[in-house]
A and B are shown apart, each in its own frame.
Chain A
Amino acid sequence: MPAFAGLAQLATLLGLTSMSSIFAGLGSAAEALAAQQFALEITQKNIANTNTAGYTRQRAAFTPANPADPLDPSTGSIAPTVSVDSYRDRFTEYRIVEEAQSNGEFEASSRALQQVESLLNENNSQGLQSSLSGFFNSFSSLANSPEDTSLRQQVLSGANVLTSEFHLLYDRIQTIQAAQDRAVADAVKDINSVTQQLAKLNTAVAAARTSNNGDESTLLDQRQQLLEKLSGLIDISYFETETGGLTVTTRQGIALVVADQNNTLQAGPAASGSLLRIQVEGQDITASIQSGSLGGVLKMRDTTLPGYLAKLDELAASLIARVNAQHAQGSDLTGTPGGDFFVPFNPGSGGSMTGAAHAITVAITDAGKIAAAGLGSGPGSNSNAKMLAAIQDEKFFESGNATAEEFYSHLIHTVGTDMQTADDGLTAQSQVLTQLRNLRDATSGVNMDEEAVNIIRYQKAYEASARLVQVWNTLAEEVINLLGA
């Protein structure tokens, strides 16, 4: 413009006041060209990012020009100023972060429970249920002909099938539990990586805001993506400071990200071989993590799976004790009173039955030692075998309310219900998330028709502005020719 301005001054000197508006018009037309070009560039960016997850569409915001000072027509411009607007839906973004937590939690529990379910599902295979039935039935068979060696052998093999089913189930659930423990370590790594990136973004957002270079929207998009990821991992709270920085804390208020710093979570066992505990700044926060995939994994590892294991332990420990007690009431083939049928389980401190299902072992190897006969009776007596078989009808679980099979069926019910809760929760939650993402996209997503319309619109405006440049140029030339004449 300075060149035009000089010409304009010359024109003014020459008393050609209209000359200034010619050059101003030329200048304005050039600015209009730049404005349309800028708008086209934004459109291009939108189109380029159609498939970028979390991208928030941008718009050229045309602001009407400052009018010229009536006393000094050389000031001001008629061309608009252009800035970038983002169609950000902050409320929906916040809701997405909120809902991602339970989604992560249900996903984690559903994954773990699916594995347990396939272990307990006896629709097509043998399992603990059928081996329990088989075990008691073998005593019932033995009662038919208690001196029969092959029937005695069947009792032993039935008992061994039962113990190996206990071991299989118990050990596999423990394996799943150990996998949860590894998932804890992975989640902690992921969380640390995300909080580190968020801390870096805080610095970048502040810089972009200061320089107003148009990068802020993209950075905020990245930040939102990271927040969604973080929230899927662990339950968090967050807020934005006045300078645009993000502060992230756990639900209990322990800071994870403040300004350009992040607090690293540490995952380590309290003692060698024990399960991982999560610490931040020396404080154990394991119990406070309730949601996100880490919350889900912890719930599985520390509550749900140990609950199943405890049920198996109770079942095994009670069986060992009850069968051994009854076994001692009879005598074996040689007339000797029955010894331990199962290797006795010694409860831990406070009567803890932990590990009983893992430990349960048949003590007898010689089938002749099975005490089928009544005390002091001959080898053909079956009274104790009958009593042993009848244990299956005894309600010695759940304070005298359930037989062994019923007790086990309650475990099946619990697992089924847990699985159902996780599945239904996951389905509902992913629907909620889909709706929210659609809602967000309704505001922030790129729509091709709109972009096409905008291209046409900006192109037309550009063409018109270019035409004006041409017109003003002709006019100016005319004036100059006039001067030269």
Chain B
Amino acid sequence: MMRITPAISDRNFLNNVETLNTLLEDANQQVSTGKKLLHLQDSPSGSAEMVVLRDELSRIDQYRANSNYGNLFLGVTDSALSSAHDLVTSIFTKGSEAATGTVTAEERETIAREIRAMRDQLLSIANTKAQGRYLFAGSKVTAAPFTISGDTVTYQGDQEVNQITIGDGVDVQTGVAGGDVLMPIFQTIATLLTAIDGNDASGIKANLSGFESALSGINQSRGTVGAALTRVQGIATDLDSRKTSLHSLQSSLEDADLAQAITKREQLQSALEATLTVQATTRKSLFDYLG
């Protein structure tokens, strides 16, 4: 049996109270912050994992923002190409009208005016801007890529098409090479107009076949853009679900089990109270009983 002195009791008491207070403080913090990873030493590997996890989450947010840009650029490109397709179809129809042998020279002049008006509309579509950038300019986005002088349209852009990253290792193009798609159309329209101006029915007819390949070029581009759009939208869904699962991983790493933390806190509180009560009531010595 160990000989007990007041110093031993005091030391043990203080130790117990200190330990309980430390544990209680931890439990209190867990309850009030809802986190169990309060300090790096609570779980060094968990803390390190959290660094990578937070980085991954912020990347997902970034990919999500990028995919929003992609969505915007591709969406605008798609509707521009769609409008272009409609206009080119109308021009083709007008051209076919002009190719008919019964059309008079005056009527051809009117048709030419109408075609020029539609060509100008097409030109403005070719110079579509989104977020301040000319979408069909390649990398030269700060200046209108298509300029016109007489009936001659000139392309000032280049063939570069940007890719953006919308997922780990997932790149998607944000547009199409505008010059490659639209310049053949403008050239076809220019020659058509020359033939109409020359009132040359067979020349007009010969020219109309050029529209077929121009239209199929637009359709091809729309296909590419549509596929990219689908990809962007699909990835966005993927990103959202990955974010959810990363959040739950993060939560399992750092979130406290509140019910458990509260129960633990109650237990510690009672233990502390009991310790204090015991200390306050015991501790008598023989001296207390000597007269």
- Which residues of A are at the interface with B, using a C-beta cutoff of 8 A? 50-51, 117, 120-123, 129-130, 132-134, 137, 140-141, 143-148, 373-374, 377-383, 386, 389-390, 392-393, 405-406, 408-410, 412-417, 419-420, 423, 431, 434, 437-438, 441-443, 445-449, 452-453, 456
Kindly identify which residue among A120, A129, A456 contacts B55, using a CB–CB cutoff of 8 Å.
Answer: A129
Instruction: List B contacts of A137 (CB < 8 A).
Output: 58-59, 61-62
Query: Is there an interface contact between B66 and A143, defined as CB atoms closer than 8 Å?
Result: yes
Which parts of B124-177 form the interface with A (CB within 8 Å)? 131-134, 137-142, 157-158, 160, 162-165, 168, 171, 174
B102 on the A face (CB < 8 A)? no
18 A-B pairs besides A122-B51, A133-B59 with CB distance below 8 A are A50-B7, A123-B38, A134-B58, A140-B63, A144-B174, A145-B131, A148-B132, A378-B140, A380-B141, A380-B142, A382-B162, A382-B164, A392-B55, A409-B51, A434-B15, A447-B4, A447-B6, A452-B285
Give the 10 A-B residue pairs with the shortest CB-CB distance, closest first: A416-B44, A380-B141, A445-B5, A378-B139, A416-B40, A381-B139, A378-B140, A452-B286, A448-B285, A409-B51
Evaluate contact between A448 and B8: CB separation under 8 angstroms. no
Select one of A133, A405, A448 contacting B6, CB under 8 A: A448
B266-291 interface code vs A (CB 8 A; 1 in, 0 out): 00000000000000000001110010
In the complex, how many angstroms separate the beta carbon of A384 from the nearest chain B beta carbon?
11
Residues in chain B within 8 A of chain A (CB atoms): 2-8, 11-12, 15, 35, 37-45, 47-49, 51-52, 54-55, 58-59, 61-63, 65-66, 69-70, 131-134, 137-142, 157-158, 160, 162-165, 168, 171, 174, 254, 285-287, 290
> Could you say which residues of chain B place their CB within 8 Å of the CB of A120?
40
CA of A390 to CA of B63 in the docked complex: distance in angstroms? 12
Inter-chain CA distance A437–B35, complex, in Å, is 37
The minimal Cβ–Cβ distance linking B128 to chain A, given in whole angstroms, is 14
- What is the chain A residue whose CB lies nearest that of B168? A393
User: Is there an interface contact between A442 and B5, defined as CB atoms closer than 8 Å?
Assistant: yes
Chain B's nearest CB lies how many Å from the CB of A207? 29
Residue of A nearest to B58 (CB): A133
Contacts A130-B54, A140-B62, A390-B165 given: A437-B41 contact, CB under 8 Å? no
29 A–B contacts, CB within 8 A, in A order? A123-B254, A129-B51, A132-B55, A141-B62, A143-B162, A144-B66, A377-B160, A378-B137, A378-B139, A379-B139, A380-B133, A380-B134, A380-B141, A380-B162, A383-B163, A386-B163, A392-B59, A405-B55, A408-B51, A413-B45, A416-B41, A416-B47, A419-B39, A434-B11, A438-B11, A443-B3, A445-B7, A449-B285, A456-B290
**Residue from B3, B47, B132 within 8 A of A412 (CB atoms):** B47
Taking CB atoms, residues of chain A closer than 8 Å to B139 are 373-374, 377-381
Kindly state the separation between the CA atoms of A143 and B163 in the bound complex, as whole angstroms: 8
State whether A417 touches B44 (Cβ < 8 A): yes
Partner of A143, one of B12, B55, B165, B290: B165
